[in-house]
């Protein structure tokens, strides 16, 4: 198997689907892969439940061979637990890379001093990274971080250097601080500063919602890869649009936008795969998955009506009837 980092060959800008807990499960990842995402990452999982062999957590990190190159993202504050979880992942699933989360701003995560909580404690962050790197000699270890805890404590350069020293081989940087959460704008100038501060490939992340922005961000910062999160929800074809624009094709705004018919058939196929991967028959009650379909209805004719009526669908047949009414 080629080493994961070989994906960052000169001239190629790999596109990642950002891990998004509650959204980027196996079904959505499959859809994004079909539409041009190069690298997929699992939703984040805590190290301890993996060690305790909690079945549901192992199910959350499952992936298919077609989804490679695939990374599994872990979080935690204890170097020993993180190392043990990584070793188990390497043995059981052999992911292409293991990613460490140093960016999650959720209260229940930072209260344990994990996720972006570690941006306040770089020595512990480095210890965790080193422990994971040492525990999985056959696997590339990567990390994803934010710029700092808040605008008064930016640590992006020091944190990136620490992580590089610890053996992290690829670094994704979300250009926000913990205190920004998901609001405000991602600061791509600071992402560029990280690119210039380290030798390892840096993947830029934050607010990539169209192909033109993606091309501009690569030119401005020299990032080795791009990571797309919310912009891909309901719009997996964004990956193909970005790829074309990076190759200098179809760079006009909106190029590569699918027809309404193509959006509906993608939505239906996604609903079917979701139902199947959750062990549902696919035709029984599908209420639980309706919220996941909303993002597909923006920008299509009749989208407002479809959103309003989605909640009355209970089967895939209802959904089909609603779309093609």
- What is the set of active-site residues? 104
Neighbours of 108 (CB within 10 A): 9
Distances 300 to 44, 113, 313, 323 between C-alpha atoms, Å = 32, 43, 19, 11
Distances 223 to 155, 161, 226, 241, 285 between C-alpha atoms, Å = 18, 16, 7, 18, 44
Residue 216 binds ligand FMN, judged by CB under 6 A: no
Residue 296 binds ligand FMN, judged by CB under 6 A: no
Instruction: Record the tokens describing residue 268, joined without a space.
Output: 């239906």
Choose which of 8, 21, 157, 282 interacts with ligand FMN (CB under 6 A).
21
Residue 19 binds ligand FMN, judged by CB under 6 A: yes
Nearest residue (CB) to ligand FMN, 167 versus 231? 231
CB of 72 to ligand FMN, least distance (A): 11
Choose which of 38, 90, 126, 207 interacts with ligand FMN (CB under 6 A).
207
Choose which of 103, 148, 201, 256 interacts with ligand FMN (CB under 6 A).
103
How far is 118 from 307, CA to CA, in rounded Å?
Answer: 40
**Residue 180 · residue 149 · CB < 8 Å:** no
Q: Within 35-148, where are the H helices? A: 47-51, 55-60, 79-93, 107-110, 122-135
With CB atoms as reference, the residue minimizing the distance to ligand FMN is 229
Residue 35 binds ligand FMN, judged by CB under 6 A: no
Residue 144 binds ligand FMN, judged by CB under 6 A: yes
Q: Within 253-292, where are the H helices? A: 260-277
CB of 325 to ligand FMN, least distance (A): 30
**Within 156-175, which residues bind ligand FMN (CB under 6 A)?**
174
Choose which of 230, 294, 307, 320 interacts with ligand FMN (CB under 6 A).
230
CB of 21 to ligand FMN, least distance (A): 4
How far is 200 from 108, CA to CA, in rounded Å?
Answer: 31
Nearest residue (CB) to ligand FMN, 46 versus 78? 46
Nearest residue (CB) to ligand FMN, 39 versus 316? 39
Residue 231 binds ligand FMN, judged by CB under 6 A: yes
Angle formed at CA 42 by CA 220 and CA 117, multiple of 5 degrees: 70
Residue 63 binds ligand FMN, judged by CB under 6 A: no
How far is 153 from 146, CA to CA, in rounded Å?
Answer: 11
Choose which of 2, 11, 22, 253 interacts with ligand FMN (CB under 6 A).
22
Choose which of 14, 148, 201, 229 interacts with ligand FMN (CB under 6 A).
229
> Rg (Cα) of the chain, in Å, rounded?
20
Residue 68 binds ligand FMN, judged by CB under 6 A: no
Question: How are the residues of the chain apportioned to helix, strand and coil, as percentages rounded to the nearest 5?
Answer: 50, 15, 40
Q: Within 78-146, where are the H helices? A: 79-93, 107-110, 122-135
Choose which of 61, 202, 228, 242 interacts with ligand FMN (CB under 6 A).
228
Choose which of 205, 221, 266, 297 interacts with ligand FMN (CB under 6 A).
205
Residues in contact with ligand FMN by CB under 6 A are 18-23, 43-44, 73, 101, 103-104, 144, 174, 182, 205-208, 228-231
């Amino acid at each position: 198997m080629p080493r994961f980092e070989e994906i960052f060959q000169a001239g190629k800008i790999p596109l990642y689907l950002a891990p998004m807990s509650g959204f980027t499960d196996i079904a959505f990842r499959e859809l994004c892969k079909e539409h041009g995402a190069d690298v997929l990452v699992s939703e984040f999982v805590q190290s301890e439940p993996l060690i305790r062999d909690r079945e549901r957590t192992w199910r959350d990190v499952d992936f298919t061979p077609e989804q490679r190159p695939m990374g599994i993202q872990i979080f935690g504050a204890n170097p020993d637990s993180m190392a043990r979880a990584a070793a188990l992942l390497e043995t059981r699933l052999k992911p292409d890379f293991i990613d460490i989360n140093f960016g999650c701003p959720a209260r229940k995560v930072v209260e344990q001093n994990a996720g972006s909580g570690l941006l306040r404690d770089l020595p512990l962050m480095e210890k965790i990274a080193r422990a994971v790197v040492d525990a999985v000699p056959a696997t590339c270890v990567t990390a994803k971080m934010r710029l700092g805890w808040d605008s008064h404590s930016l640590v992006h350069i020091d944190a990136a250097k620490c992580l590089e020293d610890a053996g992290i081989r690829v670094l994704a940087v979300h250009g926000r601080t913990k205190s920004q959460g998901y609001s405000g704008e991602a600061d791509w100038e600071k992402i560029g500063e990280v690119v210039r501060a380290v030798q390892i490939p840096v993947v830029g992340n934050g607010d990539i919602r169209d192909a033109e922005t993606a091309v501009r961000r690569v030119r401005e910062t020299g990032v080795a890869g791009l990571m797309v999160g919310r912009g891909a929800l309901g719009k997996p074809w964004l990956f193909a649009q970005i790829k074309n624009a990076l190759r200098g094709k179809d760079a006009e705004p909106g190029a590569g936008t699918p027809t309404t018919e193509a959006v509906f058939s993608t939505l239906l196929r996604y609903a079917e795969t979701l139902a199947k991967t959750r062990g549902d028959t696919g035709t029984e009650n599908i209420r639980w998955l309706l919220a996941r379909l909303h993002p597909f209805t923006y920008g299509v004719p009749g989208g407002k009506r479809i959103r309003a009526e989605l909640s009355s669908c209970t089967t895939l047949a209802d959904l089909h009837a609603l779309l093609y009414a």
